[in-house]
């Protein structure tokens, strides 16, 4: 590597081409322009050798919902290294550069989606949300009689018709659900754009179903077998402000003719649909890792979020000791010489930060160490949230 720096606007097409090669993607001629609307050249960090780009990365700053607050977070993305330049320390150099730059912008958090599980733990990232791959047998998925919501009020619109109505719903939910990200107009355009080159075989254009207080972005892939219709609905996103629009949207989606299954590749890990069905086995949720989070500023991050119960705790985080005290709106985190009550890594603190119920399992796995009896239970109760944190989009 001869140089590590952001790319210029002129170098952006080469940056995109290298990223496509690194991820073995099919060439998408419009991709450079499309993603150029989401990431500015100055938000990138690329490795150059003899004037050519050989590795790519970026970290635009967005808003991230945490329990009780919304904080700036560096969204690490587009990390790729050419196959000819692997195992040369390029990824490490780029990650260290991105995290240092993010800390300078005073973003207390960094987040990412990991292409491979073993990579990012060594940079202090922990698995902060889970994602649910939701699979539904539509023929067997009947909502119980007492379930709220009616499909009668659901309206359809073309995905390209605009995002004002769906964005209004999203903005009602976003401040209340840890893991949600802020969306610019460009990000909404990306969410609703439907270029044919990004579709699966025989997948039809995106549609938006709207209910009062909810929406679903979905597509249908028709199919036929010897036994008749065998189509599939793919849900890209389903957001609702409450149970009634949520149930109404599912009634609408599951009631499609000529369809036998519905799949949501990125649903919430605690998807409640099974509790509304006469046969809960009609829906299956496979948990996978979702958003990975790195705390860059421990005091800023821990005092920004709220806690479910009052808490006073001394934490040893990778050898540094912090006293965390939280009681309602009064929260403080400062260095301490006191003996620690819990010891854990910055990655495992990041895994628990958004409210995922992981402190107990991490302790059982030998990664979180209870040094004062009862400290683990108190911390787990205080960090908990009513719903599991969830990030509904990959960036």
170 classed as catalytic: no
125 classed as catalytic: no
Contacts 24+ apart (CB under 8 A), 196-205: 197/26, 197/28, 197/30, 198/28, 200/234, 203/234, 205/158, 205/159
Residue given tokens 């599939």 in the structure block: 232
The answer for residues whose C-beta is within 8 angstroms of residue 348's C-beta and 6 or more apart is 126, 358, 362, 367, 368
User: 15, 35, 120, 170: which one is catalytic?
Assistant: 120
User: 35, 215, 218, 395: which one is catalytic?
Assistant: 395
**Sign (positive/negative) of CA torsion 309, 314, 316, 322?**
positive
Catalytically active residues are: 120, 395
């Amino acid at each position: 590597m001869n140089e590590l720096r952001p790319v210029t606007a002129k170098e952006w097409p080469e940056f995109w081409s290298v990223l496509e090669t690194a991820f073995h993607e099919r060439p998408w001629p419009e991709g450079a322009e499309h993603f150029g609307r989401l990431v500015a050249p100055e938000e990138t960090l690329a490795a150059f050798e003899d004037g050519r780009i050989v590795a790519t990365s970026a970290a635009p700053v967005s808003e991230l919902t945490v329990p009780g607050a919304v904080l700036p977070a560096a969204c690490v993305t587009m990390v790729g290294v050419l196959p000819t330049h692997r195992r040369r320390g390029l990824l490490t150099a780029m990650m260290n550069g991105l995290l240092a730059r993010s800390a300078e912008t005073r973003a207390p958090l960094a987040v990412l989606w990991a292409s491979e599980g073993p990579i990012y733990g060594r940079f202090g990232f922990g698995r902060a949300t889970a994602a649910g791959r939701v699979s539904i047998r539509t023929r067997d998925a009947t909502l119980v009689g007492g379930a709220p919501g009616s499909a009668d009020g659901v309206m359809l619109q073309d995905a390209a018709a605009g995002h004002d109505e769906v964005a209004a719903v999203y903005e009602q939910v976003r401040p209340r659900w840890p893991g949600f990200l802020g969306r610019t107009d460009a990000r909404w355009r990306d969410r609703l754009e439907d270029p044919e080159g990004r579709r699966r075989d025989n997948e039809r254009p995106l549609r938006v179903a709207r209910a009062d207080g909810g929406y679903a972005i979905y597509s249908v892939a028709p199919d036929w077998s010897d036994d008749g219709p065998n189509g599939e609905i793919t849900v890209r996103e389903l957001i609702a402000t409450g149970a009634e629009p949520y149930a109404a949207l599912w009634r609408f989606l599951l009631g499609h003719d000529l369809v036998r299954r519905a799949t949501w590749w990125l649903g919430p890990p605690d998807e409640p649909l099974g509790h509304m069905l006469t046969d809960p086995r009609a829906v299956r949720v496979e948990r996978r890792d979702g958003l990975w989070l790195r705390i860059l500023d421990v005091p800023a991050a821990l005092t920004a979020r709220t806690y479910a119960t009052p808490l006073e705790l001394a934490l040893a985080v990778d050898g540094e000791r912090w006293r965390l005290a939280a009681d309602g709106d009064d929260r403080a985190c400062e260095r301490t010489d006191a003996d620690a009550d819990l010891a854990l890594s910055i990655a495992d603190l990041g895994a628990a930060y958004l409210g995922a119920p992981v402190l107990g399992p991490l302790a059982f796995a030998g990664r979180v160490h209870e040094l004062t009896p009862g400290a683990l239970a108190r911390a787990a109760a205080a960090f908990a949230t009513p719903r599991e944190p969830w990030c509904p989009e990959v960036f």
